[in-house]
Amino acid sequence: MTTTTSPLRIALIGTGFMGRMHTQAWRTAPRFFDLPYRPVPALLIGRRPEATAEVAARLEWPEHSADWREAVERDDIDVIDICTPGDTHAEIALAALAAGKHVLCEKPLANTVAEADAMVDAATRAAGIAMCGFSYRRTPALALARELIADGRVGEIRHVRAQYLQDWLSDPDAPHTWRMDRDRAGSGALGDIGAHSIDTAQWLAGQNIEAVSAAMRTFVTSRPRRGAVEGLGGVAADPTDRLPVTVDDAAAFTARFDGGALGVFEATRMATGRRNANRIEISGDRGAIAFDFERMNELEVYDAAADVAQGFRRVQVTEARHPYAGAWWPAGHGLGYEHLFTHQAVDFVRAVAGEVPVSPTFADAAQVQRVLAAVEQSAEHDSILTPVATVA
Ligand code: SOE
């Protein structure tokens, strides 16, 4: 089979890191995977007309606009791809779903549980599909881990340990961006990267988190206004001209899962030396798996029944039989971060055609949103943390 010529016309909203990443994904997907529709990047939307025109020209979007409503109203657009900060997700998604579009929405789904619930409700009634962009589900090694766990290779799950460690905010003069503004981003490290850990954990374990106990911290409470954009943050304009940081820099919590597992989570953008260490380890009575995105082509697997060569085996997840890997390069040649988004585009197009289930659904993402809210609520109420000094 090859990709059909039936087009699926995409309007993408957002010209930042994720907008560029999704653009690449829509273009690459049909070049490496056989798809039931051919994704066609049709319309790029950005708030700032000049900058949007520049990005559109560079990334070869045939049309661009400053008004996302144009994308929703046009009959020749099939998919609305939302790559904007969280404060706009709900409004755009609700309008897009009401207009019969298919929607792909970046994570976290929304800034509040109420918004997330409204999005789930709209998705339930919509003609189009609605998927949330928890991209790490599309890491071949994690998809393999899920297969192994579903196959019973880990057995009854007892422990989930997840850390998402970055360090791009460890410098107190790293500039202020929308990711440090609660009104725009909802929360900080918790929603930006902790949300990935929560989604991955629930998806791998097949269990939902039902209770948490949390502590959160903002180490740097103001940051200089941004000058040039560079990497995730950028370069400060004037270090003395500072804006308040209204989100967390780090969050840590323990969790109880509804299937009996115990979880320990940490999310921080201040783990010096850790650039993008999205790690998870799951231990069961028959074995365990461990993953670190900084070695994304590998999965560590432990089989408790093996009577020789005990210890974790480091499996290279690059064989043609491994999830997604067969579409790419010869074994051992490996993939990178952008491939997750290509796989996400592939699964989205296949879900539009009904070939695979939508994953994660808006309902899955709303469950993550509930956990985020519970973590914040727990961290706000210090009483949930037992002060060690008070114990007699
Ligand atoms: C920034 O922390 C960020 O780009 C997240 O927003 C992404 O979701 C994550 O995949 C990488 O880091």
The tokens 């949103």 sit on which residue?
369
pLDDT for 382 equals 72
Residue 148 and residue 120 share a domain:
no
Distance from residue 307's CA to the centre of ligand 1 (Å): 40
Q: What is the number of domains present in the chain?
A: 2
Contact 171, 230 (CB under 8 A): no
Query: Per DSSP, which regions of 233-312 are E strands?
Result: 233-236, 242-244, 250-257, 262-268, 277-284, 287-292, 298-303
Residue 120 and residue 32 share a domain:
yes
Contact 187, 376 (CB under 8 A): yes
Q: Which amino acid is at 113?
A: V
- The reply to whether 386 falls in a domain is no
Q: Which atom of ligand 1 is nearest to the CA of 136?
A: 10
CATH number, domain at 34? 3.40.50.720
Last residue of a domain, one of 134, 169, 185: 134
Asked if residue 106 has its Cβ within 6 Å of ligand 1, the reply is no
Least reliable range by pLDDT among 299-313, 326-340, 342-356, 359-373: 299-313
- The reply to whether 211 falls in a domain is yes
Whole-angstrom Cα distance, residue 71 to residue 87? 18
Residue 95 and residue 173 share a domain:
no
Last residue of a domain, one of 90, 113, 134: 134
Q: Residue 3: pLDDT band by 50, 70, 90 thresholds?
A: low
Asked if residue 192 has its Cβ within 6 Å of ligand 1, the reply is yes
Choice from 83, 84, 232, 292 to test ligand 1 binding pocket (greatest atom count within 8 A of CB): 232
Asked if residue 199 has its Cβ within 6 Å of ligand 1, the reply is no
Domain that includes residue 184, residue range: 140-295+297-335
Residue 168 and residue 74 share a domain:
no
Which ipTM score applies to this complex?
0.97
Residue 90 and residue 176 share a domain:
no
pLDDT tens figures, 132-169: 999 999 999 999 999 999 999 999 999 999 999 999 99
Distance from residue 66's CA to the centre of ligand 1 (Å): 24
- Is pLDDT of 2 > 80? no
- The reply to whether 154 falls in a domain is yes
Contact 138, 188 (CB under 8 A): no
For the chain, the straight-line distance linking the first and the last C-alpha, in angstroms and rounded, comes to: 70
Largest CA distance in the chain: 73
Q: Residue 171: pLDDT band by 50, 70, 90 thresholds?
A: very high
Residue 173 and residue 38 share a domain:
no
Choice from 106, 192, 270 to test ligand 1 binding pocket (greatest atom count within 8 A of CB): 192
pLDDT tens figures, 51-70: 999 999 999 999 999 999 99
- The reply to whether 348 falls in a domain is no
Residue 307 and residue 168 share a domain:
yes
Q: List the residue whose alpha carbon is closest to atom 9 of ligand 1.
A: 193
Closest CA to 12 of 87, 137, 101, 124: 101
pLDDT for 319 equals 98
pLDDT tens figures, 321-331: 999 999 999 99
The helix or strand, by DSSP H or E, that contains position 199, with its residue range, turns out to be helix 195-205
Q: Are strands 277-284 and 157-165 parallel, antiparallel or unpaired?
A: antiparallel
Whole-angstrom Cα distance, residue 114 to residue 3? 39
CATH number, domain at 220? 3.30.360.10
Q: List the residue whose alpha carbon is closest to atom 4 of ligand 1.
A: 232
- Is pLDDT of 1 > 70? no
Please provide the average confidence, as pLDDT, over all residues in the chain. 95
Residue 231 and residue 129 share a domain:
no
Residue 148 and residue 83 share a domain:
no
Q: What is the DSSP letter of 88?
A: G
As to burial, measured by CB atoms within 10 angstroms (0-12 exposed, 13-18 middle, 19+ buried), residue 288 is buried
Backbone φ and ψ for 164, nearest 5 degrees, come out as: -125, 110
pLDDT tens figures, 136-145: 999 999 999 9
- The reply to whether 367 falls in a domain is no
Last residue of a domain, one of 284, 315, 335: 335
pLDDT for 225 equals 93
- The reply to whether 382 falls in a domain is no
Asked if residue 166 has its Cβ within 6 Å of ligand 1, the reply is yes
Residue 253 and residue 229 share a domain:
yes
- The reply to whether 87 falls in a domain is yes
Average pLDDT over residues 25-51: 97
Q: Residue 378: pLDDT band by 50, 70, 90 thresholds?
A: very high
Residue 168 and residue 120 share a domain:
no
Asked if residue 82 has its Cβ within 6 Å of ligand 1, the reply is no
Residue 220 and residue 150 share a domain:
yes
Show the tokens assigned to 182.
Answer: 């609660």
- The reply to whether 171 falls in a domain is yes
Asked if residue 375 has its Cβ within 6 Å of ligand 1, the reply is no
